């Protein structure tokens, strides 16, 4: 009988103090993992971005907002990594004396970077939204 009387009181107290369910806790942890992995990719030097990007792809996520953010950022930074790989290949061709091939590779790199730029911006916007929503 006492337990029945306390249940509404406990529910009110929990609501007042923003008690979290296990699902809420998992969602926040998931968002934290993904946001951290995105930050690592963003802050990595170009030579290390591919490894960091692979780790982002492995980051476990729950909830559509978190998983969609992870995938959008993975796609954006994949373009960036492809562009830097093309730039490195162009440098090698230039050192080999193949200026025309180097120019073609640089052109392809520039195109990838141009394509990646708005996607990376959208990624950062999504990451910020995750951080705000989950108070990270």
24-34: per-residue pLDDT in tens? 999 999 999 99
Residue 38 and residue 56: Cα distance in Å, rounded? 6
Report the candidate in 37, 53, 51 with the shortest Cα–Cα distance to residue 130. 37
Sign, Cα dihedral of 103, 104, 106, 110: positive
Give every residue of the chain whose pLDDT is below 70, as ranges. Answer: 1-20
What confidence score (pLDDT) does residue 3 get?
Answer: 57
pTM to 2 decimal places: 0.82
Instruction: Output the pLDDT for position 55.
Output: 98
What pLDDT was estimated at residue 14? 53
DSSP 80-94: HHHHHHHHHHHHHHH
């Amino acid at each position: 009988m006492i337990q029945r009387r306390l249940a509404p009181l406990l529910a009110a107290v929990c609501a007042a103090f923003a008690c979290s369910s296990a699902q809420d806790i998992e969602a926040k942890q998931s968002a934290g993992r993904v946001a951290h992995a995105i930050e690592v990719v963003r802050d990595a030097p170009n030579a290390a971005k591919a490894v960091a990007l692979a780790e982002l792809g492995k980051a476990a996520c729950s909830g559509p907002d978190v998983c969609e953010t992870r995938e959008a950022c993975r796609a954006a930074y994949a373009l960036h990594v492809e562009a830097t790989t093309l730039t490195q290949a162009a440098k090698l061709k230039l050192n080999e004396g193949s200026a025309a091939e180097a120019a073609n590779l640089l052109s392809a790199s520039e195109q990838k970077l141009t394509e990646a730029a708005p996607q990376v911006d959208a990624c950062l916007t999504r990451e910020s939204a995750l951080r705000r929503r989950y108070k990270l």
